[in-house]
Structure 1
Amino acid sequence: MGIGVGIFLIVIGLILLLDVIEDFPDAIADVIDVETLGWICLIVGILGIVLALVMNRQRSRTTHIQERRDI
């Protein structure tokens, strides 16, 4: 998951959490708690961004050594 997907999940989570869509379909709202789904998307998005940044930082610190053997 990259930074873009993390931002997308944060936006979706905030939309669900802040109840921006007031006319959510009743069939879905009866089965799923929309506020809980918003919190889950928000937390997963934040974790995704943090993990992407940590992995990107580790990748930039990696050094490669090339060993040449002349016969």
Structure 2
Amino acid sequence: MGIGLGIVLLVLGLILVTDAVQLPQAIENAINGQALGWIFIIVSVIAIGLSLAMNRQRNKTTHVEERRDYR
């Protein structure tokens, strides 16, 4: 998961938590929209945090190139 997916999940979670969009009754009976929103928010925070940590680790990595002259 990257930062983009984390942001999308965060936006979806905030929409569900604030009841900005009314879910159809069939879905509302099966799934609690606010609970699903909070799950999306938590997962998005974890995804963004992991993505930033992996990018930071990737920037610290150095590569050494060794050239040998065979004559």
TMscore range, shorter length:
over 0.9
- Give 1:66's aligned residue: 65
Query: Structure 2 CA distance, aligned partners of 1:2 and 1:24?
Result: 27
- Give 1:24's aligned residue: 23
CA RMSD of aligned residues (A): 0.8
Residues 1:35 and 2:34 are matched in the alignment = yes
**Identity value in percent:** 54
Query: Structure 2 CA distance, aligned partners of 1:24 and 1:9?
Result: 17
How far apart are 1:69 and its partner, in Å? 1.4
- Give 2:14's aligned residue: 14
How far apart are 1:68 and its partner, in Å? 1.3
- Give 2:56's aligned residue: 57
Normalising by structure 1, what TM-score? 0.92
Matched residue pairs, number?
70
1:5-35 CA-to-partner distances (Å, cap 9, x unmatched) read: 11110010010011111x3200000001111
Q: 5+ unaligned residues in a row in structure 2: which ranges?
A: none
How far apart are 1:56 and its partner, in Å? 0.4
